[in-house]
Amino acid sequence: MTGSVSACSGSDAMAPVLEVRGLTKRYTRGLLFRQETFRLTADLTFDGSSIVGVMGPNGSGKTTLFELITGSNAPSTGSVRVMGRDIHKVKHRERDRLAIHYHQSYQVRRFRRTRPSFLMQAAGHDYPMVHLFDEPQFNTRDGYIGFMLDFFRKLRREGRLVFLCLHPNEPWHLELMEEVCEQTVFVQGGRVRTYHDFCSSLRDPDLRDYLGKLAPRDAK
Amino acid sequence: MALFEARGIHKRFGQQVVLEHVDLSFEAGRLSGIMGPNGAGKTTCFNVLTGRHRPDRGRVTLDGEDITGLSPDAIARRGIARSFQVMSLFDENTALDNLIVALPEVRARGFDMFRRLSADDAAADRASAVLARVGLAGLERRRAGDLAYGERRALEIGIALASRPRLLFLDEPTSGLGSESTARLAELVQDLKRDHSVVVIEHDMQFLFALADTISVIHWGQVIANGTPDALRENAWVRRSALGGAA
């Protein structure tokens, strides 16, 4: 099991598990007159293991954020460090040894690479430290949810950082997140906000507005 | 010591990690189940365990012998047989002939295109016994292509059994079956448990929970849970699912 994997070799044990500094990603259109169509900005630090719920409307930048954290998509500015290593300087094939993106419905976007892997660093890990679950298929009928939640807890016990991205549209989606998530990341219009307590994050007016009628009354 | 063990199996296809540090252990005389949603990596896992794919890392042992990276036929010779999710039968040949060509003694001496397979009485008797074991007695002369879907599944299990395996792997045996055929197949697998060590991959949780001694749950190419069906049912989300309701 994952607990038997040698956790870290060649990385900074004192460094935060994940440090996102001054990260921006700009999308533009037009050749002569570049016009910005979308901008994502993020500054996040997670010092240790945790289970973090990620929410936000469709098109707000959640998947782009995950792609930037796992190094498949290059940032316009800023850096992403996992256990002290700049993931965008790690060999492409080894980036998922630091942070792995479990894509929704196995949809994987491919990005152009500008630097050959042989000029880059080794990951220094053989099992990912950051696990990003992008809208996993949850279904109350089959019971897999329970096994998935236990798996997230196991990863957390083993010192890993887990992101669980969900777009709540049923009361039990929020119930599930309340059960397992300790912290919240809320992405809206390309802006990324972190709340270090999941329950208190539900008092944020913007998050409540996003949740609509699912927002718990007693969290006001 | 377990009959079959896999430790730290890692497999990647291109950029995609398909198996991540998989540990599995199957005891002799038990029915072990592997379940997981579609696309979880179950069949890839089976393919690595039975030699169709070589793992990038990790070790597979049968009775303590390292069989990692051996070819599928070398692994089969050591006593591991498997059925496939997509059936591979000789549709133009009879059920009996399909079984005769799977007998190790017939395979060892090769085939003669001018000789009818069923002319070998001893082989035909042994093949008939296996057909009876999988519930196909009386259908020996039926073309495999004319058998009902559930009977074709049983025939494929019979073909795997013909090699007298020490460990039998069944890949999604209920795939494409209706409820009646699934119930008949469950009876067959229950019967096989008496004298075989069996590993079954299934997405039909009801089927597996009713039959398996232990179950490993695979998702995202990793073992996310394992235990007895009773222990797995203790999970609160399993209890509130259809599975819990049926327990």
Residue among B21, B57, B235 minimizing CB distance to A2 = B21
Whether the per-residue pLDDT at A173 is higher than 90: the answer is: yes
In A109-170, alpha helices (H):
144-157
Confidence of residue A51 (pLDDT cuts 50, 70, 90): very high
Contact B23 A93 (CB under 8 A): no
pLDDT digits (tens, 9 = 90+) for B19-66: 999 999 999 999 999 999 888 888 899 899 999 999 999 999 999 999
Mark A36-74 as b/e (b = at least 16 C-beta within 10 Å).
eeeebbbebebeebbbbbbbbeeebbbbbbbbbbbbbbe
Confidence of residue B115 (pLDDT cuts 50, 70, 90): low
pLDDT digits (tens, 9 = 90+) for A119-132: 888 888 888 999 99
Residues 6+ apart with CB under 8 A from B167: B3, B4, B26, B62, B79, B80, B81, B197, B198, B199
Q: Contact, B122 vs B183, CB < 8 A?
A: no
B204 close contact with A: CB closer than 8 A: no
Closest CA to B85 of B16, B19, B21, B171: B171
Contact B224 A96 (CB under 8 A): no
Whether the per-residue pLDDT at A6 is higher than 50: the answer is: no
- pLDDT given for residue A12 in this prediction: 65
Whether the per-residue pLDDT at A84 is higher than 90: the answer is: yes
Structural tokens at position B154: 């049983």
Confidence of residue A5 (pLDDT cuts 50, 70, 90): very low
Q: What's the one-letter identity of residue A111? A: F
- pLDDT given for residue B224 in this prediction: 96
Cα B57 to Cα B9: distance, rounded to the nearest angstrom: 6
Strands B4-13 and B57-62: antiparallel
For residue B32, the cross-strand partners are: B199, B214
pLDDT digits (tens, 9 = 90+) for B163-218: 899 999 999 888 888 888 999 999 999 999 999 999 999 988 889 999 999 999 99
Share of chain B above pLDDT 70, in %: 93
Residue among B8, B21, B235 minimizing CB distance to A146 = B235
- pLDDT given for residue B82 in this prediction: 86
B39 close contact with A: CB closer than 8 A: yes
Cα B196 to Cα B227: distance, rounded to the nearest angstrom: 20
- pLDDT given for residue A3 in this prediction: 36
Whether the per-residue pLDDT at B150 is higher than 70: the answer is: yes
Q: How many helices (H) and strands (E) does chain A have?
A: 5, 10
Contact A147 B219 (CB under 8 A): yes
3-state secondary structure of B232: helix
Whether the per-residue pLDDT at B246 is higher than 60: the answer is: no
| Average pLDDT value for chain B | 89
Cα A138 to Cα A57: distance, rounded to the nearest angstrom: 18
Whether the per-residue pLDDT at B80 is higher than 90: the answer is: yes
* pTM attached to this predicted model: 0.88
Confidence of residue B87 (pLDDT cuts 50, 70, 90): low
Residue among B219, B223, B240 minimizing CB distance to A148 = B219
Q: What's the one-letter identity of residue A92? A: H
Cα A52 to Cα A118: distance, rounded to the nearest angstrom: 34
pLDDT digits (tens, 9 = 90+) for A93-147: 899 999 999 986 555 667 777 777 778 888 888 889 999 999 998 888 888 899 9
B 70-99 → A contacts, CB under 8 A: none
Whether the per-residue pLDDT at B247 is higher than 50: the answer is: no
A 106-165 → B contacts, CB under 8 A: 106, 108, 126-127, 133, 137, 140-151
User: Backbone dihedral region of B63: left (phi > 0), alpha (psi from -120 to 50 degrees) or beta?
Assistant: left
Contact B237 A96 (CB under 8 A): no
What is the maximum span of chain B, computed from C-alpha positions, in angstroms? 63
Whether the per-residue pLDDT at B240 is higher than 70: the answer is: yes
Average pLDDT over residues B71-76: 90
Cα A27 to Cα A41: distance, rounded to the nearest angstrom: 12
- pLDDT given for residue A105 in this prediction: 58
Which positions in chain A touch B23 (Cβ < 8 Å)? 1, 4
B59 close contact with A: CB closer than 8 A: no
Cα B166 to Cα B144: distance, rounded to the nearest angstrom: 26
Choice between B105 and A160, residue whose per-residue pLDDT is larger: A160
Residue among A1, A144, A151 minimizing CB distance to B37 = A144
Domains of chain B (ranges, CATH numbers)? 1-79+165-247 (3.40.50.300), 90-163 (no CATH)
Residue B74's CB is within 10 A of a number of other CB atoms, namely 12
Which positions in chain A touch B245 (Cβ < 8 Å)? none
Cα B60 to Cα B82: distance, rounded to the nearest angstrom: 16
Cα B147 to Cα B215: distance, rounded to the nearest angstrom: 31
3-state secondary structure of A11: coil
ipTM: 0.86
Whether the per-residue pLDDT at A2 is higher than 80: the answer is: no
Whether the per-residue pLDDT at B83 is higher than 90: the answer is: no
Whether the per-residue pLDDT at A10 is higher than 60: the answer is: no
- pLDDT given for residue A11 in this prediction: 58
Whether the per-residue pLDDT at A198 is higher than 60: the answer is: yes
B38 close contact with A: CB closer than 8 A: no
Average pLDDT over residues A60-80: 95
Which positions in chain B touch A108 (Cβ < 8 Å)? 15-16
Cα B71 to Cα A169: distance, rounded to the nearest angstrom: 48
